[in-house]
Structure 1
Amino acid sequence: MIAEDLDQLDTAQLRERLLAMQAEIRFKQAIIDKLTHENAVLKRLKFAATSEAFSAEQKSLLEETLDSDQAAVEAEIEALQRKPVAKRQPRREVLPAQLPRREVRHEPEDTTCGCGRPMQRIGEDVAEKLDYQPGVFTVERHVRGKWVCRCCEKIVQAPVAPHVIDKGLPTAGLLAQVLVAKYLDHLPLYRQEAVFERAGHAIARSTLAQWVGECGVQLQPLVDALTAELLRQDVLHADETPVAMLKPGHGKTHRAYLWSYCTTAFNPVKAVVFDFADSRGGQHVRDFLGLPGTSAKPGWKGHLVTDDFSGYKACYELGIVEVGCMAHARRKFHELWAHHGSAVGEQALKYFGALYDIEREVANADYDTRLDARQRAKPVADALHQWMRQQRQKIPDGSATARAIDYSLKRWVALTRYLEDGRLPIDNNWVENRIRPIALGRQNWLFAGSLRAGKRGAAVMSLVHSAKLNGLEPYAYLRDVLERLPTLPASRLGELLPHRWAPLTSG
């Protein structure tokens, strides 16, 4: 077919196609060289880690991160080369005989030979995979019968089903359990190792780490599709929270950040995407949104709901519309009232309370109904604005009360923009609630072991937290995704996004 196509091309077209192919090869080779170098660095760090001054718990977390990163890099190289990477193949252990077993039989759809005679079963191949339901290990025995036609000497056998980890030991259920426990329940792999041992079968944390790394690579296209879906929405929330990241070779950590972007509570598309970055610089937001100067693709345009962190300011200069957070403005006056019994703080809270009362009335309404209700809020907002300006004239500069009032007055246009658009929320609390479980999880992580590990964690958390937003049980969702992903065409990847996902029905 290719030869026929080439015959129809003239010399100029052949040269153009050749140059394009050469450019693609150079690009892929550059990525392979980069990943190969990263793999070598990871191996060096893995062997050097024993000499660094970490506690036993920290060293365990570092080792699992390096194992996961190395498995992820090898999986990416293999995908680019389209051939297996030369790597040590671990000896596959025999699963304990005492574990319950469930047979899954795979037979050819048709056991009639082309000559018309029935084929005879002459044997079978059996592959055992380790499955896990919380607290209980079982073994899936995949039995593939062999059928032969004595006349034609033809053998037929059902093909091996594709799996997220090719020729791997774990089922999709076990992989989903490991990922959900690590990224939703915040259980490091060394703790999961102990949980599995109590369930009757010890799995080395290095093995668990390899599974995490390979799953991260396989799930990334789905996370990319979720990100693309998010960036098609007109209104987004954004927030960030610090996470310690280890600096191998230094024995220390530095402050990295997990950025969170999500749709509003009013949007029928419920999605949240986390993005891990090694700093709090505003360029990370611009990169994620693909704003001018950061991406070759058309940048996102819309309304961005944020707090007043300066890192977002450059986005507004590039065409993004700022929507302020009324909860942050209210919080300044609440602190005055709670800590000092301030009469100014108390009066301000009454105004804010009236604005929020109207929002609660239309929390589940459509955009037009919400916008109509907000016409009643405009006089309240205008009265609050006028009252603040009057109070500010009475208060000396530098006081806590002056700072609280100045915060609102300087941001008044952004804070009240929601009154003109029924799609916009009054505050940024929706995304802050999405990021709160991450802050709780930091107590168990201690730190992210590397930038790659942080990005992998952000990717998996994007899927499981989006599943929760859509009312799904994260384990059931992720197990189904891992089962279907290996055979699903790229064109149908959107079917697995949390807000579109539906379990397969039998029959």
Structure 2
Amino acid sequence: MISKPDDLPSDLVSALAALQAEREARLHAEAVAASALAELSDNEALIAHLELRIEKLKRELHGQRSERSARLLEQLELELEELITTASEDELAAQAAAAKTQNVRSFTRKRPVRKPWPDDIEHERVVVEAPTTCACCGGSRLAKVGEDVTKTLEEIPRRFKVIETVREKFTCRDCEKISQPPAPFHATPRGFIGPQLLATILFDKFGMHIPLNRQSVRFKAERIDLPLSTLADQIGHGTFAVMPLFHLIERHVLAAERLHGDDTTIRILAKGKCTTGRIWTYVRDDRPFAGPAPPAAVYYASSDRRGEHPQKHLAVFAGHPVPPVMHLLRPVA
């Protein structure tokens, strides 16, 4: 509401009342506009979420595994991330604007039901100090009638420690022979990297697709000097240590009577550019045929899609390849 000069009151009290009414009207309009903007942002985020779910369902229904569909899903996920962030900011702005008024209801986004946290996660109970006197009458006869619990997920920054493994030497007073317990097994030379840290490096690289140069930067930020060359060396030792397990899985998969297989593209970081490599996957799953063997999968990597790769992978396979495997055996120019 904007007053015209002819409508201005002549006395000071009426002027203050008019200013107050105009201020309340302005705050009301701002709160309504902020609430509408928050609702619009929430609807846009919901639409993006539904579009992402539709594309994922199409991918599962039609078995689309093309690079184009993968890029489309990545783009939709990025758009959804930005829209949800904007919707949360607009929601907070709408609530702050509604708090300044009396007759505008604050907007609250509908969020999905949060899944419970794992039962084995560490719990810490923090009890806020209770009042000793009544806030109303000042009395000291207080009795507990209940409690409200707020659960907050927190992160404990990872800690590093240096384990000093000491092997004491003893000499025999009778024959003067020196005895010492054997050194424990280490996956890396001289036990430079512990098994838990080595597993983290391997998982971050192969499971989370974090390049070693980024891992090195993170270690440096945590005051641990692990250059790229050192991490690459540890990756080599780690993969060599798990090769016996890989060969066991490989023999189990290739001993199947039926084998499912396919290949997919993967980006490979090369000098000055990125090249396109291949991940070859072979799956043994006898459950649809009432087979007793547990399902398993084995993966191979190559820098191209030449037919010699699956021929080498399946050299010892004597079963029946299902159609997805058969097309891999055709030579590719």
How high is the TM-score relative to the length of structure 1? 0.31
| RCO comparison, higher one (Cα < 8 Å, 6+) | 1
How high is the TM-score relative to the length of structure 2? 0.46
For the pair shown, the structure with the greater C-alpha radius of gyration is 2
